[in-house]
Amino acid sequence: GIPKVHVLKNRLLEIVPWCKIDAINEMFIGEHAERLLNGNPDYVIDCIDDVTTKAELISYCIKNNIPVITSMGAGGKADPTKIRIGTLHDCVKDPLASKMKWKLKKTHNINIENVPCIFSVEKPSINLLPLDEEQSENPEEFGTVDNFRIRVMPVLGTS
pTM here is: 0.77
Pairwise CA distance, residues 67 & 14, whole Å = 22
Q: Which of 45, 46, 26 is nearest to 35 (CA)?
A: 26
Give the pLDDT confidence score for residue 122 in this predicted structure. Answer: 83
Which range, of 13-17, 44-48, 55-59, 136-140, averages the lowest pLDDT?
136-140
Q: Which residue has the higher pLDDT, 34 or 1?
A: 34
Give the pLDDT confidence score for residue 148 in this predicted structure. Answer: 53
Neighbouring-strand partners of residue 116: 87
Is pLDDT of 15 > 50?
yes
Is pLDDT of 129 > 90?
no
> Do the bridges between strand 116-120 and strand 83-87 make them parallel or antiparallel, or are there none, so unpaired?
antiparallel
> pLDDT-based confidence at 63, cuts 50/70/90?
very high
Q: Which of 96, 79, 69 is nearest to 12 (CA)?
A: 69
Q: Which residues contact 110 (CB under 8 A, 6 or more apart)?
A: 58, 59, 62, 104
> pLDDT-based confidence at 143, cuts 50/70/90?
low
